[in-house]
Structure 1
Amino acid sequence: MRNALAVTLLLSSGIAMADEGQWQPYQMPSIADKLQSRGIEIPAKQLADLSQYPMNAVVGLGYCTASFVSPQGLAVTNHHCAYRAIQFNSDAQHNYLEQGFLAASLEQEPSAGPNERLYVTEAVTDVTAEVTAKLSDDPLTRYEQIDANQKALIKACEADDNYRCSVRSFHNGLEYYLIKQLIIRDVRLVYAPPESVGAYGGDIDNYEFPRHSGDFSFLRAYVGKDGKPASYAKDNVPYQPKSFLKINAGGVKAGEGVFVAGYPGTTNRYRLTSELKFASDWLYPTQAKRFQSRIDTINAMGAEDEALAIKYSGTKAGMANRMKKLNGLLDGFRATDIATIKQQREDEFRAWYANQQGDNTLVASLEALVAEQVQQIQTRYYFDNAQSSDLLQAAIALYRLAKEQQKPDEAREQGFQERDMKLFAAKLTRLDASFDKRVDKTLWLADLQAYLAQSNRVATLDAFFGDKGPEALAAELEGFYAASELGTQDKRLAWMGKTPAEFEASQDPFIRLAVALFDTNMALEKTDKTLEGKLSIARPAYMQALIDYNKVKGLPVYPDANGTLRISYGMVDGYQSRDALYKQPFTKLDGIVAKHTGVEPYKAPQKLLAAIKADDLGQHRVASVYQDPRSWLCRLFSCLDKPEDFNSVPVNFLSSVDTTGGNSGSPVFNGRGELVGLNFDSTYEAITKDWFFNPEITRAVHVDIRYILWMMDKVDHAQNLLDELELVN
C-alpha cells in the first residue's frame, strides 16, 4: 500500500502541475485542452461568454463570491461572507450568529444591511489603448493621466446608473480592462446556520484539514417592481437572474475534475524576490503582532458585554483570519524556502533577459523603485495606524469629501465622486452596527502608543499627542469621544453637505484633528502617486519581458488576482501534508461528532448531533466518495477505503483548484457546470500560493453540496428553499 500511495502521489502531483492559474474567462479557449484533460465537459467557449450559463449566475459581493441558485434571485455564499448581514440583524434578544436564521417566507427576509450589494459582471472590455495613450514621462502627470483616462471610461460606462463600472490593471499595468457590473442594491438575509455550524472549529481549524465546517448561507437579490435595481423598499420584488445554477445532489468523487469561478482578491506571484523577503522579514510579522493585540482586546472586552461582542464579531473574525493567514505565510516561507526558489527562477530570467537585451537595467530600475516603496511603507506604518479610530476615519473622509466637492466631478478623487455618494452614506450609516466607543478608544490608544514609541514621527500628529504620557494620553482620548457628535449617525450624515470652512470652524475634536492632518496626508498621497507613476513604466516593462520568458519556457501566463472574475480548474484530490501523513479528500458527519466537546469552537448544535445519532441521512447518504474500484481513477487517486466504507454525508472536500481570498463563496462546479460545493478556505500548507503555487500541496477546501442539502432537509427543515432549487444527479 505504501509503494502504491507513493506512486499515486507522484503521478497526481505531476498532473497537478497543469492546475495552476487564475484565468480570465476570455482565456478559456486557449486552455481548452487542459480543461478537457481534467474532464471538464462544458465547452471552453461557453465559459468565456459571460452572458451564458454558468458564468452569468456567478456574482460578486465586493469582498466574496456568490451564485444564483433559483429563478427568484436566491443566492448561495459562505456563512463568513454573509457574516455582516447576520450580525446586522442580530442583537442580544435575537442573536442569529448563535441561533441561526431561516426566513419561512419572502416577507420574513430582512435587509442584509445598507452596504450590501450583489454585482453581476456583464462585460469585460480591453481598454489598454484608451488608458495608456499619449502618457507623459513625468511620473505624477503620468499617474494623473492614467487616473483621468480611467474615470472618463467609467463615466461613459455608467450612463445607466444601474451599473457600476471599474477599470482594473492586469499584469501590473501592462493591460487594462473595463468591468461593467449590474449592481443589486437590495440584498436580504434568507438562511444561515448557527455560527457553531458555519464556523465549526473556529480559529483552531481555520486553514486546517480535516475540516467539518458548514460554511454556507443564502441571500436574496431584490429589485423594484419594474425589474430594475433599487434601494431597499418593502414592496421590492425578487430579482430574476438570466440563469441560475443547477445543483448536482450526487456531488463529486475523488479524482473528478472540477472548476471554480469567482473573484479572487490579490496574489503576488510575479513580484520580485526582494518584495517577498520584505513581506516575510518585516511586514507580515509586524502586521500579525498588531492583529493579535487587537483581537485580544476585543475578546477581553466582549467577554464582559455580549452586545459589544456581537458588534465586533465580524471585525474580530476578519482580523483572526488575516492573522492566521499571515502566520501561515511565514511558516510556509520557512518550510519551503520559497525565497530561494523564487530567487533561482528570477536569476534564470535575468540571465535570459540579459542575453536577449544585452543588459539588466530593466530589473535594476524596478528594484530601486521597490526599495523606495519599502522605505515608504516602513516610515508611514505607525503614522497610518495612529489614524485608526473609526470616528477619526469618518472625519478624515468627510473633510476630504468637502474638499473634493469644490472641484468638478470628473476632477475629484475616485471614492468622492457623485457616483460614490450612496456607498459613502451607507458606510457612515453602517458604522453603528460595528462600533462601540469603548473599544474604538482602547484600540486607538494602543496604536497611538505604538506610534509614539518609534522614531518616524509627524509634527501635525505630535502637536496633538506628542508630549503626553500614558495616563494623560488616555485622558485626552476620553475627552475626544466625550466632546464629539460623530458617534451619532444623523450627525455624521449631516456633515456630508458641509463646506471646508464649516469643518475648519468646528470644535469637534475628531474633525479638528482631521483638518490638521489633511495637508500632511495629501503630501504623502502625492508622494505615493509620484512613485506609482514611476512604477507604471517599470512594472509593465518588466511584466512584458517576464511573460515573453514564461511563454518560451512553456509556463502558464495569467494575471495576478486583482478582484476580477476568474476561473480555476483542478480535481478532487488529497495531499501529502508532511512525512507519513496523507490527507484524504473527504470528511464526513462522523468527524463532527468526534470533534464535539460541548465547548466552543467544537460545540455542534444539539439538533445536528441528534440527526447524526438517529442516522437520519435520507437520500443524502453516500456509500463511497471514490470511483468504481475497477476504474483507472480509483487505482490512481488513492481509493484507500472499500466503496461501502464511507456510508455518510460528505461535509468538506479538497481539490487542486487555484484560489485565494475573495474566492470565498465561489461555486465549485463538476465537469458539466453543475454546482457541487462552495469554496471557503485553503489548507495551511497552501497559504503561500499567494506568492508561489506548489502543486504538490496546494489544496482548496470546499463545503460539499450534499452536506448543505442535508442540513437544509434534515436539520433546519428549509423545505421552502429546497423547493426553489433545481436538483439533478
Structure 2
Amino acid sequence: MRNALISAFMLSSGVVLASSQALADEGQWQPYQMPSIADKLSEKGIDIPAKQLADLTQYPMNAVVGLGYCTASFVSPQGLVVTNHHCAYRAIQYNSKKEHNYIADGFLATSKIDEPTAGPNERLYITEAVTNVSEQVTRDLSQDPLVRYEEIQSNRKSLIKSCESDDNYRCSVRSFHSGLEYYLIKQLIIRDVRLVYAPPESAAAFGGDIDNYEYPRHSADFTFLRAYVGKDGKPAVFSQDNVPYQPKSHLKINIDGVKAGDGVFVAGYPGSTSRYRLTSELKFASDWLYPTFASRYQLRIDTIAMMGAADKGVKIKYAGTLAGMANRMKKYNGLLDGFKATDITGIKQAREDDFKQWLATDKTYQSYQTQLDNLENLLVKKRSNSQTRYYFENAQSSSLLGAANKLYRLSREKTKPDAEREEGYQERDMKMFKARLKRIDSSFDVSVDKALWLQDLEAYNAQDNRVAALDAMLIDNKQSVSLSEKLDGLYSLTSMTAQDKRLDWMDAKSEDFETSADPFIRLAVALFDTNMAQETDKKTLAGELSQARPDYMKAVIAYYKANDWPVYPDANGTLRITYGMVDGYQSRDALYKQPFTRLEGITAKHTGIEPFNAPTKLLKAIEEQRYGNHKVETVYQDPASWLCRLFSCLDKPKSFGSVPVNFLSSVDTTGGNSGSPVFNGKGELVGLNFDSTYEAITKDWFFNPTITRAVHVDFRYILWMMDEVDHADNLIQELDLVRN
C-alpha cells in the first residue's frame, strides 16, 4: 500500500536530502508569506498575484470564512455561504425532527423566509487582520515556569481586550512555531447563521465510513448556509427582522472547472499538524496515544450505534457526534497503518540525526544542543503526566458533569477581576458559555450519556492511578450497590438535565454550589481541587516548554533554510494558503488512481443498502443522462500541451463524457480545511476540499509529495445537483458563474 513515502528522501551517508522539486507543493502558508513563494505559484500556473493573496481585505481572501472548526466561503452578495455537508451537520441536525428528518431527506429553502436558524452556537468568523505581536507577548518574561506561563497569558489577554473594543469582533493571540512567534488575529463574528440547502446524507456521505479517507469517491459533501445581520448591517443574534449580510466580496464560480495538471490553491483554517515535533513524540503517539484513543472511540461508537438503532430520536441527536468520532477513529487507525507501512519514525529519526550533526558543526547554533536535551527531558515528563491523568480526565466525561465542572469554576473565577480570570470565563466568553449550556440538549440523552460515562468509569477503575476524591464519591462501594446503580441515582436526582436550571447556575455563588444537594454539582465541587492542582502542573510544564520549544524551533528553522526546504508554521487553526495541482497518484503497485470520478461511478457503487444507497432522484437523473450543460468531454490537457509532455499524460484516457463528481489535487491540507474553497489559477472557485486519501493521513507528521492527495467536491457536480436533481433555481441565480 503506502510504500512510496521513504522515496521523498534519499538516506545516504547519514544525510537526509530532499529536492526542492519534490517538496514544491508542501506548505500551509500564512497569507503574508505568499509573495515569498510567488515564483512557485507561477510555476504551477497560479496567475493571481501573490501580493493580492497576502491582502486579507482583497478578493478572494476576504470571502473565505471560518466556522470555528471548518472553513466556508461567501458565494453571493446576499451572504450565501458554501461549506461541506459534514461541517454544517450540526445545523442540519438542529433542524431535524422525527416528523422531518433533514439529515435523511435533505433540505432546500426556496425563499429566504424559509431559511431556519442553524442553531444558537453557529458562527461565521471573517478574519480581517493578522498582526505580529511576538515582542509584546514575550518581552521581559520571568524565568520561573509558572510565573512565565501566567505572564504570557496576561500579555495575550491584554492584547485581546484592546482588540475587542467592538463587541462584534472576536480576537485571539495564537502561537506560531511553538511560541517563537505570536500573532493577534481579529475576526468579525456573524451570529445569525441559517440553513439554506443540504443534500440528503445518502448523497452527501455516499459510501459513509467505508469510503472515508478512500478514493475513488463520489460524495456530494456540500451545504449552503446564509449569514444574517441586523438592519443596521452589524452582527446580531437571530431575529426574524435581520437581513442578509453583504460581504465585501464573494467568490466567482468557474463552471468549466479544472483539468488534470491545472494549478490550484486552497485557503482555509487547518487545525493541527506535528511536522516539527521530535521523533520521541511520534513514537509516543504511535505506541500509546493513537491506539488508546482509537480503542476508546470504537467502544463509544459501538454503544451509540446500538442505542441509536433502537431509538430514532437518539440516532438523530447523536448523528453528528457519531460521525465525528468515526472520522477521528479512522484517522487514528490510518496514522497507525501509515507509520507501519512506511517507517515514518525511521524517516523522522534520520532527519533528526542529520539535524544534530548540523547542530554540532554550525557555529551559531552549537550551544542549542543543551536546549534540545532539556526539551527531550520535559517531553518525557509530559508523556508520563498524560498517561497518568488520562483515565481520570475521561472519568469526568458525562455531559452533565462537564457542565457542572465549568459552572462551579465560573463561580470561582467571577470573584476575580475580569483581566485575571482564566480564558473561557471572562465576560467576553459569557455569550458562548451560555450557548454551550443550551446546546447540550441538542445532542444529549440520559441513557446514552450514562452508558458512555459508565464505560469511562469502569476503565478508570481498572487501572492504578487513583484520585481519592473520585473514589470517595463514586468508586468505593461499602454497600452492595453497583456503579451502574449509583449512576442511576445521580441522573434521577439531578436538575442539570433541565436547560433553565443549568442556566440559573451561571449566576450562582460558590457557596451555593458547596451547599447544593444536586449530585453532579456535589461531584464537581469534590473534584475541583484535584482538577485545579493538575491544571497548575500543566501550566508549569507549559511554562518550561515555552522556553525550550522556541529555542529548538530557532535551530530547526535555520537547519531547514540551510537545506532550502520550505519553512512555514505547523497548522494551528489559523488562516492558511496551500497550493498544488490536479493530479492522480500511484497508490500501490500497478494501481494508478485517476484524478476525477464520474456520475456513473455512483450507480456502479449503489447497492440500495446504507451507506451505498444513493437517493432515487439522483440515480434517475444519471440513468436518464440528464447532464444539462454540466457534461465534460475530457478532464485531461491537450496531448500536445507542455503539461502533457511534462507529466506524460499521452497514455491517459481522453474521453470522459460525464459530470465530474470528486477530484484529487496535491495541495497540503488537514482537518479544519474541510469546506475550504479550491481555486483555479485565476482565483475562481472550482471545488470544495472535504477529505484526504488514506495514504496521505500521515501528512500531519510528514509530508510526502508522491502520495499526498486531498479530495475535493467538483463544483460542476454541485451545480449539477442544484440544477438537475434538486432544482435549486433560486440559489443558482444568486451565484456569480463564469467561464474560462
Deviation at 1:362, TM superposition (A): 1.8
Residue of structure 2 equivalent to 1:71: 77
- C-alpha contact (below 8 Å) 1:573/1:637 kept by paired residues: no
Name the TM-score, length of structure 1 as normaliser.
0.97
Question: Hey, what's the Cα distance between the residues in 2 that align with 1:612 and 1:639?
Answer: 28
Identity percentage of aligned residues:
72
Choose which of 164, 173, 177 in structure 2 pairs with 1:158: 164
- 1:707 matched to 2:717? The reply is yes
Report the 3-state secondary structure (helix = DSSP H, G, I; strand = E; otherwise coil) of the residue aligned with 1:36.
helix
Choose which of 195, 203, 224 in structure 2 pairs with 1:197: 203
1:230-245 alignment to 2 at 5 Å? Answer: 230-245=236-251
Report the 3-state secondary structure (helix = DSSP H, G, I; strand = E; otherwise coil) of the residue aligned with 1:215.
coil
Deviation at 1:640, TM superposition (A): 6.4
Name the TM-score, length of structure 2 as normaliser.
0.96
Deviation at 1:472, TM superposition (A): 0.8
- C-alpha contact (below 8 Å) 2:475/2:483 kept by paired residues: no
Choose which of 376, 397, 401 in structure 2 pairs with 1:367: 376
Question: Hey, what's the Cα distance between the residues in 2 that align with 1:518 and 1:545?
Answer: 40
- C-alpha contact (below 8 Å) 2:23/2:565 kept by paired residues: no
1:25-40 alignment to 2 at 5 Å? Answer: 25-40=31-46
Question: Hey, what's the Cα distance between the residues in 1 that align with 2:22 and 2:258?
Answer: 18
Report the 3-state secondary structure (helix = DSSP H, G, I; strand = E; otherwise coil) of the residue aligned with 1:145.
helix
Please tell me the residue identity of whatever aligns with 1:399: Y
1:327-476 alignment to 2 at 5 Å? Answer: 327-356=333-362, 357-358=365-366, 360-468=369-477, 472-476=482-486
CA deviation string 1:91-117 (max 9, x = no partner): 111100000000010000000000000
Unaligned runs of 5+ in 1: 1-9
Question: Hey, what's the Cα distance between the residues in 2 that align with 1:455 and 1:726?
Answer: 62
Question: Hey, what's the Cα distance between the residues in 2 that align with 1:699 and 1:636?
Answer: 19
Residue of structure 2 equivalent to 1:555: 565
Question: Hey, what's the Cα distance between the residues in 1 that align with 2:615 and 2:550?
Answer: 53
Deviation at 1:628, TM superposition (A): 1.0
- C-alpha contact (below 8 Å) 1:169/1:176 kept by paired residues: yes
Deviation at 1:467, TM superposition (A): 2.2
Choose which of 73, 91, 94 in structure 2 pairs with 1:85: 91
Deviation at 1:14, TM superposition (A): 8.0
Report the 3-state secondary structure (helix = DSSP H, G, I; strand = E; otherwise coil) of the residue aligned with 1:368.
helix
Residue of structure 2 equivalent to 1:629: 639
CA deviation string 1:57-97 (max 9, x = no partner): 00000000000000000000000000000000001111000
- C-alpha contact (below 8 Å) 1:269/1:692 kept by paired residues: yes
Question: Hey, what's the Cα distance between the residues in 1 that align with 2:697 and 2:687?
Answer: 21
Report the 3-state secondary structure (helix = DSSP H, G, I; strand = E; otherwise coil) of the residue aligned with 1:62.
coil
- C-alpha contact (below 8 Å) 2:695/2:707 kept by paired residues: yes
Q: Which moved more, 1:199-208 or 1:456-465?
A: 456-465
- 1:508 matched to 2:514? The reply is no
Deviation at 1:632, TM superposition (A): 2.4
Question: Hey, what's the Cα distance between the residues in 2 that align with 1:337 and 1:555?
Answer: 21
- 1:53 matched to 2:63? The reply is no
Residue of structure 1 equivalent to 2:15: none
Say if 1:342 and 1:613 are closer, same or farther in 2 by CA, change over 3 A: same
Question: Hey, what's the Cα distance between the residues in 1 that align with 2:696 and 2:399?
Answer: 34
Choose which of 280, 299, 309 in structure 2 pairs with 1:303: 309
- 1:104 matched to 2:114? The reply is no
Residue of structure 2 equivalent to 1:520: 530
Report the 3-state secondary structure (helix = DSSP H, G, I; strand = E; otherwise coil) of the residue aligned with 1:303.
helix
Residue of structure 1 equivalent to 2:612: 602
Say if 1:48 and 1:517 are closer, same or farther in 2 by CA, change over 3 A: same
Please tell me the residue identity of whatever aligns with 1:87: Q
- 1:679 matched to 2:685? The reply is no
- 1:646 matched to 2:652? The reply is no
Question: Hey, what's the Cα distance between the residues in 1 that align with 2:217 and 2:411?
Answer: 49
1:168-183 alignment to 2 at 5 Å? Answer: 168-183=174-189
- Structure 1 outlier segments of 4+, above 4 Å: 13-16, 640-644
- C-alpha contact (below 8 Å) 1:308/1:436 kept by paired residues: yes
Choose which of 489, 503, 521 in structure 2 pairs with 1:493: 503
Question: Hey, what's the Cα distance between the residues in 1 that align with 2:272 and 2:94?
Answer: 27
RMSD, aligned α-carbons: 1.3
- 1:324 matched to 2:359? The reply is no
Say if 1:579 and 1:231 are closer, same or farther in 2 by CA, change over 3 A: same
- C-alpha contact (below 8 Å) 1:264/1:566 kept by paired residues: yes
- C-alpha contact (below 8 Å) 1:16/1:656 kept by paired residues: no
- 1:127 matched to 2:136? The reply is no
Choose which of 254, 260, 268 in structure 2 pairs with 1:254: 260
CA deviation string 1:413-453 (max 9, x = no partner): 00000000000000000110000000000000000000000
Question: Hey, what's the Cα distance between the residues in 2 that align with 1:51 and 1:420?
Answer: 27
Q: Which moved more, 1:640-649 or 1:258-267?
A: 640-649
Say if 1:625 and 1:638 are closer, same or farther in 2 by CA, change over 3 A: farther
Question: Hey, what's the Cα distance between the residues in 1 that align with 2:260 and 2:652?
Answer: 13
- C-alpha contact (below 8 Å) 1:625/1:643 kept by paired residues: no
Residue of structure 1 equivalent to 2:233: 227
Please tell me the residue identity of whatever aligns with 2:463: Q
- 1:218 matched to 2:227? The reply is no
Deviation at 1:221, TM superposition (A): 0.3
Question: Hey, what's the Cα distance between the residues in 2 that align with 1:249 and 1:491?
Answer: 52
Residue of structure 1 equivalent to 2:143: 137
Question: Hey, what's the Cα distance between the residues in 1 that align with 2:646 and 2:304?
Answer: 48
Say if 1:678 and 1:461 are closer, same or farther in 2 by CA, change over 3 A: same
How many residues align structurally? Answer: 718
Question: Hey, what's the Cα distance between the residues in 2 that align with 1:159 and 1:70?
Answer: 30
Question: Hey, what's the Cα distance between the residues in 1 that align with 2:495 and 2:241?
Answer: 34
Question: Hey, what's the Cα distance between the residues in 2 that align with 1:571 and 1:476?
Answer: 58
- C-alpha contact (below 8 Å) 1:124/1:179 kept by paired residues: yes
Residue of structure 1 equivalent to 2:5: none
- C-alpha contact (below 8 Å) 2:580/2:665 kept by paired residues: yes
Residue of structure 2 equivalent to 1:546: 556
Question: Hey, what's the Cα distance between the residues in 1 that align with 2:481 and 2:704?
Answer: 50
Unaligned runs of 5+ in 2: 1-9, 11-18
CA deviation string 1:388-437 (max 9, x = no partner): 00000000000001110111100000000000000000000011000000
Deviation at 1:718, TM superposition (A): 0.2
Deviation at 1:644, TM superposition (A): 5.4
Deviation at 1:638, TM superposition (A): 5.2
Question: Hey, what's the Cα distance between the residues in 1 that align with 2:342 and 2:31?
Answer: 31
Deviation at 1:639, TM superposition (A): 3.4
Please tell me the residue identity of whatever aligns with 1:715: V
Please tell me the residue identity of whatever aligns with 1:512: R
